[in-house]
Amino acid sequence: MMGMEEMQLRPELMRHVRTVDPYVPGEQPQTKVIKLNTNENPYPPAPQVARALQEMDADKLRLYPDPTAEELTGALADYYGVKKNQVFVGVGSDDVLSMCFLTFFNSDKPILFPDVTYSFYKVWAELYRIPYECPRLDVGFRLMKEDYYKENGGIIFPNPNAPTAIYEELDFVEDIVAHNRDVVVIVDEAYVDFAGRSAIALTAKYDNLLVVQTFSKSRSMAGMRIGFCIGHPALIRCLNDVKFSFNSYTMSQVALACGVEAVKAERYFRETVRKIIDTREWAKRELSQLGFEWTDSRTNFLFVRHPEKDAGELFELLKKERIYVRYFGGGRTSQYLRITIGTQEEMGLLFAALKRIIQDR
């Protein structure tokens, strides 16, 4: 059997191989644990989604799905009050964002995104050989909009930001878009349903704005992989041109059918989001009693630290209790944990474990 050292490619061959430091997702334990590390929704998808799965005609799976995803884009357009040609869908928001990088970030000037943010941005920039700069968040982990006034090749930032959980109001977002009319500005709104107003309202005013959202968080469909963006029809047309040059049939028949039903399930969606927000606010109070500090979370997770306890040690001790949270380590986030909001029962078990850990040490 070949040893690992024998499995390396020869240097002369490696010259022609594209290498990047990959994105590292949260752990996906295969045993029964309390899983609060990947920002999944703790509640099931809407009953309409389950019904769509049960009623799916298996014979349809022998046919290619609609490459234009017309039914899903139509449902999203109706829901958000835009035209169908303003909507692009993909296999999760990561697929949509990757297509956006490939399509719109082709300048010799660097694109801009925060130094503490979704780590996939740096991966895509390096994968596609896009120059980039990362303006520092301030000491409270907030964006400083003036850092985005300088010349650039495009801008992307999440709102709310991840992992910091901080949401910026719409006038703040508009200021960045208005100062960058000659480049595409992408606002990644994976968590906006837990926060406040979406920047989708600004797409009618700014032709350089794309707003990206996902079904993975607030619509409980991380396993289905559905993402979308909304913007000016010309930007959407450019995205579709790249997509059709890459893979015309990106979304499955099942995902398209379930996605339409999820959009229609407005009442269930609102109820689920409200439960998570209520649990989040309760969790803040409970963590405060245990001595924790946090950023002003407007997401389905909390970004927390304990002034007297090492975050890495807490992370490992929670794993021993079969409770998984996210620890990034290193740099400015080295003393923070990211904790997904679970059910009331799951969060109660987390608080009990933290109380034992803190009292024992």
Q: What is the CATH number of the domain that holds 36?
A: 3.90.1150.10
Number of domains within the chain: 2
Same structural domain, 33 and 129: no
- Owning domain of residue 317: 26-44+267-360
Write out pLDDT tens, residues 198-257.
999 999 999 999 999 999 999 999 999 999 999 999 999 999 999 999 888 899 999 999
Does some domain include residue 6?
Answer: no
Tell me the one-letter amino acid at 321: E
Report the relative pairing of strands 293-294 and 326-327 from DSSP bridges: unpaired
Same structural domain, 225 and 303: no
> Which residues face 34 on adjacent strands?
323
Helix (H) or strand (E) segment spanning residue 35: strand 34-35
Does some domain include residue 1?
Answer: no
Same structural domain, 281 and 258: no
Residue found by looking up tokens 């909009």 in the block: 145
What pTM did the predictor assign?
Answer: 0.93
Tell me the one-letter amino acid at 63: L
From 245, 264, 283, the end of a domain falls on 264
Query: Looking at 257-299, which runs of residues are DSSP E strands?
Result: 293-294
Write out pLDDT tens, residues 134-164.
999 999 999 999 999 999 999 999 999 999 9
- pLDDT over 80 at 361, yes or no: no
Does some domain include residue 312?
Answer: yes
CA 209 → CA 96, 184, 188, 203, distances in Å?
Answer: 14, 6, 11, 6
End-to-end CA distance of the chain: 47
- pLDDT over 50 at 1, yes or no: no
8 A C-beta contact, residue 82 and residue 257: no
Write out pLDDT tens, residues 263-318.
999 999 999 999 999 999 999 999 999 999 999 999 999 999 999 999 999 999 99
Give the separation between CA 346 and CA 318, rounded to whole angstroms. 13
Q: What is the CATH number of the domain that holds 153?
A: 3.40.640.10
Same structural domain, 216 and 70: yes
Same structural domain, 253 and 322: no
283 secondary structure, DSSP code: H
